[in-house]
Chains A and B, each alone.
Chain A
Amino acid sequence: MLLTWYVLVAVMITAYVVLDGFDLGAGILHLLIARTDEQRRTIIRTIGPVWDGNEVWLLAGGGTLYFAFPLLYASGFSGFYLPLMIVLWLLIFRGIGVELRMRFDSPVWAGLFDGAFGLGSLLLAVFYGAALGNVLRGVPLGKDEYFFLPLWTNWRVGPQPGILDWYTVLAGLVALVALALHGAHYVALKTSGEINARAKQIARQLWPFLVGLTALSLAATLYIRPGLLNNYRKLPVLYVIPVLVAGSLVSMWRSNSRGRERAAFLASCTYLVSMLVGAAAGVYPNLLTSTTDPALNITVYNAHSGRYAMSVGLIWWSLGMAIAVGYFVFVYRMFRGKVSGALGHGYGGNSDAVRQR
């Protein structure tokens, strides 16, 4: 039951990263490759009907964490107070950036919301990466199982780290490049013409950075937390995960070069899934490790809620998620295919924004 919920929480977080990850990636691309108003609108239209549903995975995932492992939810969220608040603000900026950009026909308005959308997306990617880095690195948990981290201390990974140190910044960079690349593949899949070409080009340019950062981050992670390999040693089949990471990187490059857009996108999905599953596999059964005393680790054993709650939760959760996946399939099918290049109203209005809003 504990392992089950650990896996389910990991699944939800992974789903969120893969789905909202391409929304964030589209936002980063919006900042980097869109030159004209039409191109910016096109990128927004690729995620317009789906970004909100994708974001719900964060809420459902956070909620699942709350009801399955309340101690981790309470300790983690309060300990990471400042960065979490910043993430909440960034989510607000991203949300209004995407939704309100086309509601008013003015270059200043568009510029402001483009900034909110693009910059918000970029910073979210960095913060999420740093958040994962913090979890992997561990935090100074006290005897009461709580902690509080300032934004930085001495940038070193020691017993008294801050949110930002060299390791978590590295993790943030990996996330930034990974999600930008993921977004590039998505945008390429959903567009045609110049934006499609630019997206593929930036994917090619980012790829070597991702390879380098992936290798660097894996080495760094094992350097600061060699214990993360323990589960792998016990269960060698887990070594398929790093193979998948490498394979997906290769596939990304090859698919992109050959113009196989869907394959490239699936490869970046696989990359994200393998990286997160790899982390989750290494971390178990810890949820949050202590940098001061391993006896204080928050684990699945000391953080979970009651047996009844977890059992009954499995029933309605499975039912609810099955239905939700059904919705997703339906909506994605309804909006499949490339965003039409022609100027149109609705999601991605043209300069007639005034008239129609």
Chain B
Amino acid sequence: MDDALMMHRLHFAFTITFHYLFPQLTMGLAPLIVILKTMYLRTNNPLYNRAARFWAKVFGISFLMGVVTGIPMEFQFGTNWAQFARATGGVIGQPLTMEGVFSFFLESAFLGLFLFGEERLSKIGHWWTGFAVFAGSWLSGFFIIATDAWMQHPVAFQRAADGSFQLTSFWGLLLNPWALIQYAHNMCGALITGTFVMAAVGAYYLLEGKFVEEGRAFLRLGVIAGIVACVVQIFPTGDLHGKMMGKYQPVTVAAMEGLFKTQSGAPMVILGQPDAEHERIDNPLVANKVLSFLLYGTTTATVKGLNEYPKSDWPTNIPLLYYTYHIMVGLGTIFLAVMAMSAFLLWRGLLYKARWMLWIILCCLPFPHIANTAGWITAEVGRQPWVVYGLMRTAAGYSANVQAGNSLFTLIGFMGLYTILAILFLFLVYRIIAHGPVDEAKSEVGSGAPITMA
């Protein structure tokens, strides 16, 4: 493979993977914080406001890291993927800009007020700032998904004389069926991250025997929202996503499943390592006929194997794709089991004392991040060898004028910088958790005098 192509792929892959660790947490926590603020408004119980303030602090750190690692992404289409950018600006330039114009302005305008302006606002006013930040972040997610969905399933375009893609329908782009399903599945994934982190912190507090009342609230909200998210993630969003891929990206599905040869009544592989050289799965543990059923609705349906497609159209790294897909599904299944058990125990009033369950919830903390990451790698590696599916190859998209060495240099720079950011993030969030959800002395005076004293 071309040196420069590999470096630019690594550059984008690394920066986007690190970046997305943060938005999934902020987007996952945002609706939960709105729920906490809503409960505070309805019940007037200061516990809920303490909880909301606590999670707002975590949210704030995650949001900041998301912002600083996100800016490089917008520019990277131009710096490292110039040929792709030149060809597709006429289409995906729109949702990417809409993200800035509609979402970022909304989020950033109200984030300061939400984090530090509570004293200046009425209770309802402060609720609205929280809602605005939630709406902005979820809107942001939509525009990014719309962009990726177009790359996966190009719609609403025509090719110009110079080969570039030009938009033909604004709503066609935004209502791309792929985008709607991918968005639902992605946001649910983010919610899983938010709910598991919240529940894990609650479990931690209960196991430590401090901030018990708040810990229970975190567990309650985390588990109730979590079980809903886990179910919806698999059915209907995961199921629909799989069917969509079966229809439009059958090569990818074959690769994900390690299906080297066409089969009717194709099995779903639960465990086993794909051997791309000999085109088989080692030590396979399979569920017969399940793949056919999930993709096409009948156990006898024929699922095309990789053998049906030219090798030049195969995803470039089949073992990676296979593993990330199975890690995502495996973890998703485990999450469902954990949340189902926790929800059952909660319903029976047994959860808070069930230390074994609290330990499991606590230990689950990093795994939603891993599952979301694995899912995205599946999507993007699965799209290969295309950068615009079926129309433009990745190998034709990178910045040919930027030599591999430059990309390597900046990649190393980002790795170093992001290591520092990761350490800072963990340190600061740890301190917030250790400090706990206690009430501050009420004097949150922000910049500028109150309205009356201008």
- A residues apposed to B, CB below 8 Å: 45-50, 52-53, 55-56, 58-60, 62-64, 66-71, 73-79, 81-82, 84-85, 88-89, 91-92, 95-96, 99-100, 103-104, 142, 146-148, 190, 305-306, 308-309, 312-313, 316-317, 320-321, 323-324, 327-328, 330-331, 334-340, 342, 344-348, 352, 355-357
Contacts and interface: CB of A to CB of B under 8 A. Distances in A.
A58 B118 CA distance: 28
The binding surface of chain B is classed by DSSP as: helix
B75 A342 contact: no
B419 interface: no
Interface stretch (B163-171, B206-214, B358-366): B163-171
A167 to B, nearest CB: 23
A147 B109 contact: no
6 contacts: A63-B99, A67-B94, A70-B85, A75-B86, A317-B97, A320-B98
Closest 4 A/B residue pairs (Cβ): A70-B89, A67-B93, A77-B78, A63-B97
Contact of B85 (A73, A309, A356): A73
B446 A48 contact: yes
Interface stretch (B63-71, B291-299, B346-354, B383-391): B63-71
A76 B428 contact: no
B83 interface: yes
B82 interface: yes
B90 A306 contact: yes
Contacts of A340: 445, 448-449
A99 B61 CA distance: 9
B1 interface: no
B112 A48 contact: yes
Interface in B414-454: 417, 421, 424, 428, 431-432, 435, 440-441, 443-449, 451, 453-454
A148 B402 CA distance: 7
Given A146-B82, A316-B98, A338 B74 contact: no
Given A92-B72, A92-B421, 9 more contacts: A52-B67, A53-B105, A53-B108, A60-B104, A62-B74, A63-B96, A92-B68, A317-B97, A346-B444
B106 A327 contact: yes
B177 interface: no
A347 B446 CA distance: 5
A184 B356 CA distance: 59
Contact of B79 (A84, A95, A320): A84
B208 to A, nearest CB: 20
B444 A345 contact: yes
Contacts of B79: 77-78, 81, 84-85
Given A95-B67, A321-B101, A347-B112, A66 B401 contact: no
A58 B97 CA distance: 11
